[in-house]
Amino acid sequence: MKKAALYVRVSTNEQDPAMQLSDLRRYAQQRGFEIYEEYVDVGVSGTNASRPALDSLMDAARKRLFDVVLVWRFDRFARSTKHLVDALHEFRNLSIDFISYQEAIDTSSPIGEAMFTIIGAMAKLERDIIVERVKAGMRKAKEQGKRIGRPKAMVDVDTIISLRWQGLSLQGIADRVKYQDSKGRWRNVSKGKVHRMIKQHGLTNLDVRKAMRKTFSFTIDAYIVDTGA
C-alpha cells in the first residue's frame, strides 16, 4: 500500500482547511492510499518561500518516508510555476508521485506525465518572457540616458585622499568617512570603495610612505630647532 502525504494551505487564520482535508482524505481512501501525515499551513501566504508545514513535507520527502504527495490544488502548494516545476523534478528524482485533486493531475499516469512536460515548458517560457522584458526595459532606459542600478553614493573624495596622505589605513578612512544615502541615512563608506577611489586618483602606498617619511623628518628637524638640540 502506498503512503500519501497530504498538503493543504489557507492564507488567513480565519479560513478553515477542513474542506481541503476532507476532499483529500476521501480521495486517498478511494485510491487505497495509507495517509502518512497531513501537512497543514494556516495563515501562510502562498508567496512565502518558506512555510513550516511545506518545509517539513519536503524534508520527509527527501528521506523517502512516503510515496505520493497529494494536494488540493496547484496554487495551494506552489508559489509560482517555477516553484512547482522544481518541486515536481525533485519528486520525480525521489520516485514520489504528485497528485493535484482539483486539476485531476497525477504524474504517475501518462496524461500526468504529459502535463508535467507542458508545465515545464510553460515555466521556461515564463522565465524567457521575464528576462526579455527586463532586457527591453534596460535598453529603453539606456536610450533615454537613465542610469541602470543603484544611485552612486555622494562621497567627499578630497577628504579620503587627505586622510590617506596623512597615513591612515583604508579601514581607518572607511571608519571616519560617512555619506548620506538616497533615504537620508548616514552610512560609513566601505573599505573597498575607499580603495577604488584612492586607486582612481593614482595614489600608491609608496607615495604615502614617502609623504610620511617627509613629515616625520620635518617633525624631527622642527623639534631640534625648537629645543636647540
Compare 83 and 7 and report the one with higher pLDDT.
7
Residues labelled as active-site residues: 11
pLDDT band with cut points at 50, 70 and 90 for residue 137: confident
Domains of the chain, each with CATH number or no CATH:
3-124 (3.40.50.1390), 157-227 (no CATH)
Q: How many CB atoms lie within 10 A of CB 5?
A: 23
Taking the whole predicted model, whether its pTM rises above 0.75 is answered as no
What's the first-to-final CA gap in the chain, in angstroms? Answer: 101
Q: What integer pLDDT is reported at residue 19 of this predicted model?
A: 93
Nearest one of 38, 46, 47 to 17, comparing CA atoms = 38
Q: Which three cell numbers stand for residue 3?
A: 503512503
pLDDT band with cut points at 50, 70 and 90 for residue 153: low
Q: What integer pLDDT is reported at residue 33 of this predicted model?
A: 96
Q: Which three cell numbers stand for residue 57?
A: 513535507
Q: What integer pLDDT is reported at residue 93 of this predicted model?
A: 92
In this predicted model, what pLDDT tens digit does every residue of 187-207 receive, in sequence order?
778 888 778 877 776 666 655
Local structure of residue 189 (DSSP, 8 states): P
Percent of the chain exceeding pLDDT 90 equals 30
Range of weakest confidence among 65-74, 140-149, 211-220: 211-220
**Helix, strand, or coil here: 27?**
helix
User: Mean of the per-residue pLDDT values for the chain?
Assistant: 79
Most confident of 73-77, 96-100, 112-116, 159-163: 96-100
List helix spans (H) across 107-190: 110-143, 157-165, 170-176
Sign of CA dihedral 179, 185, 186, 190: negative
Q: What integer pLDDT is reported at residue 113 of this predicted model?
A: 73
Nearest one of 165, 157, 163 to 208, comparing CA atoms = 165
Nearest one of 92, 42, 47 to 68, comparing CA atoms = 92
Q: Is the pLDDT of residue 66 over 80?
A: yes
